[in-house]
Amino acid sequence: MPTLVMKFGGTSVANLDRIRRAAKRVGVEVAKGYDVIVIVSAMSGKTNELVGWVNETSPLYDAREYDAIVSSGENVTAGLMALTLQEMDVPARSWQGWQVPVKTTSAHASARIEEIPSENILAKFAEGMKVAVVAGFQGVSPEGRITTLGRGGSDTTAVAFAAAFEGERCDIYTDVDGVYTTDPRISDKARKLDKIAFEEMLELASLGAKVLQTRSVELAMRYKVKLRVLSSFEEQSDDAGTLVVDEEEIMENRPVSGVAYSRDEAKMTLISIADRPGIAAAIFGPLSEAGVNVDMIIQNIAEDGRTDMTFSCPVDQVGRAQKAMEDAKASGEINYRDLIADTEVAKVSAVGIGMRSQSGVAATMFKTLSDEGINIKVIATSEIKVSVLIDRKYMELAVQALHDAFELDKLT
């Protein structure tokens, strides 16, 4: 029998009625002849509640116990989904991560999947089970302890199962009906894409689009897993949602496929640092050790042996970055006159695989922002992306203007 993986996020299993709705979708696929592996998240809000209990009980918690607690929400959902399917006369049973087993590293709260042996579940399929309901987000370490994969880890679980079982497709059910050219809450001209390339989806996910977890897209691209993003609340059809596929499966490489944004960015500038070999390592080494996620970097032209260095990071990591720089200065690793933090910026990005072969995207982007009176603070580019930092108050205007400039309302 062909295998299909179906993943249901927290809003799709938020209560018993939604679990029943999801189970009916699973039943449709079983009736088509699939053996189905269902990956479930915890009910909406449950993981946050569990994390809150952990923090209230033990602010300096043991990460092993943290994983044992926060992974329990998925166990409840998996059991309820299996029971619902059984009530529909669909042979199903639930599986926790350690029962499969989903073998992971020992990095609690941020473990990575190393192997998913298929023997146990395949044996049950051979005995007549039609649906394996697996608790997402969790696994087991080499020491036999429960681990979790980080927030959004159920997406990664689903893709990993599709790869391990050579699934025909991995369907990600969520509260949106696909991948859009931009956030429909910002632009009413946003259009749902029928298909998007893995690389485009990876960039959009890393730049702020919340549809799929970044690691899950990386995994799908590596193992050629065909992904489909669709809504739990829309009518089901064969052409519903958005397919995430290889670039070769997209007929036309449009210059830009989407405009993404990240609201919570900060721009930090070190004023008057030495322009010498090794200065970048002396700055970004301590930032890395402090867990600061640096994104854009720009260094000014040197004058009299001194220069300025600007970088961006998430706004909630500004304090950590400031301390890392102050400690590096105190130890003599670096010397600077001042450290300026601008916490009122946003990042806006244009993404498209067509940038490889078609010029003019950056020029169009910069002119559009200029016409709207929006000043660009920092620019970063890659093969299929152009990103800028701008004042946060202009973010929505920039997204709308760029969506119009690249005529994304004409894409499907």
Instruction: Measure the CA–CA gap between 368 and 366, rounded to whole angstroms.
Output: 5
Supply the pLDDT for residue 161. 97
Supply the pLDDT for residue 241. 87
Supply the pLDDT for residue 237. 66
Adjacent-strand bridge partners of 390: 346
Supply the pLDDT for residue 252. 63
Instruction: Measure the CA–CA gap between 229 and 212, rounded to whole angstroms.
Output: 8
**Of 214, 102, 199, 95, residue with least CA distance to 150:** 214
Q: Which fold has domain 3-175?
A: Carbamate kinase (3.40.1160)
Supply the pLDDT for residue 59. 85
Interval 200-236: pLDDT, tens: 988 887 776 667 888 899 999 999 999 999 888 877 6
Any idea where the domains of the chain sit in the sequence? 3-175, 259-410
Supply the pLDDT for residue 44. 93
Residue 265 contacts residue 318 (beta carbons within 8 Å): no
Q: Scan for tokens 């982007």, then name that residue.
A: 365
**How many other CB atoms sit within 10 Å of the CB of residue 251?**
7
Interval 377-390: pLDDT, tens: 999 888 899 999 99
Instruction: Measure the CA–CA gap between 292 and 6, rounded to whole angstroms.
Output: 34
Instruction: Measure the CA–CA gap between 290 and 317, rounded to whole angstroms.
Output: 9
Two domains, one topology: 3-175 and 259-410: no
How far lies 57's CA from each of 42, 236, 246, in Å? 21, 43, 46
Supply the pLDDT for residue 185. 87
Supply the pLDDT for residue 240. 80
Which CATH architecture fits 259-410? 2-Layer Sandwich (3.30)
Instruction: Measure the CA–CA gap between 138 and 104, rounded to whole angstroms.
Output: 9
**Of 267, 264, 266, residue with least CA distance to 310:** 267
Q: Low-confidence residues of the chain, pLDDT below 50?
A: none
pTM: 0.82
